[in-house]
Structure 1
Amino acid sequence: MASETFVTFPGGKRVDTTIGNHVIRTDQPVASGGEDSAPSPFNLFMAAIGTCAGIYVLGFCQKRELPTDGIRLRQRAHFDPETGVLARVELDIEVPPTFPEKYREALVRVADQCAVKKAIQAQPAFEVKTVVAAG
């Protein structure tokens, strides 16, 4: 099974992708020649990790009718100082003092089920090629 998206270049350093009925816009920071009109592709990648974990946390709370006020995920990216490559991602699920202690570790377990994280850990193969579009 394959899913398909289309990537286009609307001008400047902007690169957009169309996924179904949605367009996700990206741009580069001003320091990299962009206009900073949208997140960079790498920032969207990082946001996908956090929001994926977040949807699992949200679903857990909603299923148990636990309030989500005051819950947030804090994500930190750590890079290898020699290569600049992403080396570690930390996710802290911040809960208010009133959040039931008996569910705190369960939140960690559900956030750990994030499909984006699992896809990264599976180390999928990448195949990049040039094809000539039908005229």
Structure 2
Amino acid sequence: MNEITVVHQEDDAYAIFIRDHVLHVDQPRAGGYDSGPTPLELFAASLAACVAYYARHHLKDHSLPHTGLEVGTHFTLLAGEPLRVGSISLDVRLPWSLRPSDQEDLLKAIDPCPILASLDVAPKVTATVTCSPTDRAAEPARTPQSLH
């Protein structure tokens, strides 16, 4: 998988480079300029986009209408430290009716979304610090540390 790179722009604004795409994230409440969604909004949006992908393919594969599909999402943050998402709701919206059994099948069809699976079983996340050779401090190198 290609590397995704996040580059500081100014204050609390960052550019995200993904293949040939550039996304912008910003923290307007922390002094940013609202030049893009916050990282948490992007997190929730990526989950909704993944669910939409699986939902549309299920509908299409079962010869059901799929044009006009939308997925809405809301998230809440837990109080305290560390700040983190406490709940996420997803609403698969269709501009037509489905039988209850088809609705149940559609909800089951979104389960393979890898973002949902990653939320169910948290991945191991590691972080490292890499300094350019001219800026290296006289400290020993640090090894990757788990963020969990």
TM over 0.5, shorter chain = yes
Bigger mean CA deviation after superposition, 92-101 or 115-124: 92-101
What aligned pairs does 1:42-121 form with structure 2 within 5 A after superposition? 42-83=40-81, 84-121=83-120
Q: Percent identity?
A: 23
Q: Alignment partner for residue 41 of structure 1, among 35, 39, 54?
A: 39
- Displacement of 1:28 in angstroms is 1.6
CA displacement 1:74-117 (0-9 Å, x = unmatched): 32213334555322222222334533443111110011221111
- In structure 1, stretches of 5+ residues that fail to align are none
- Displacement of 1:55 in angstroms is 0.5
Partner Cα separation in structure 1 for residue 127 and residue 22 of structure 2? 22
Residues 12 and 111 of structure 1, relative CA distance in 2, 3 Å threshold: same
- Displacement of 1:58 in angstroms is 0.9
Partner Cα separation in structure 2 for residue 80 and residue 130 of structure 1? 28
Partner Cα separation in structure 1 for residue 32 and residue 48 of structure 2? 25
Residues 105 and 46 of structure 1, relative CA distance in 2, 3 Å threshold: same
**Which amino acid in structure 1 is aligned with residue 37 of structure 2?**
P
1:10 aligns with 2:9: yes
- Displacement of 1:134 in angstroms is 5.3
Cα-Cα RMSD: 2.2
Work out whether residues 52 and 69 of structure 2, in 8 Å CA contact, stay in contact via their aligned partners in 1: no
Larger Rg: 2
After TM superposition, the score normalised by the length of structure 1 is: 0.82
Partner Cα separation in structure 1 for residue 75 and residue 53 of structure 2? 19
Q: Name the residue aligned to 1:127.
A: 126
Work out whether residues 13 and 26 of structure 2, in 8 Å CA contact, stay in contact via their aligned partners in 1: yes
Partner Cα separation in structure 2 for residue 63 and residue 96 of structure 1? 18
Q: How many residues align?
A: 133
After TM superposition, the score normalised by the length of structure 2 is: 0.76
Partner Cα separation in structure 2 for residue 82 and residue 28 of structure 1? 19
- In structure 2, stretches of 5+ residues that fail to align are 135-148
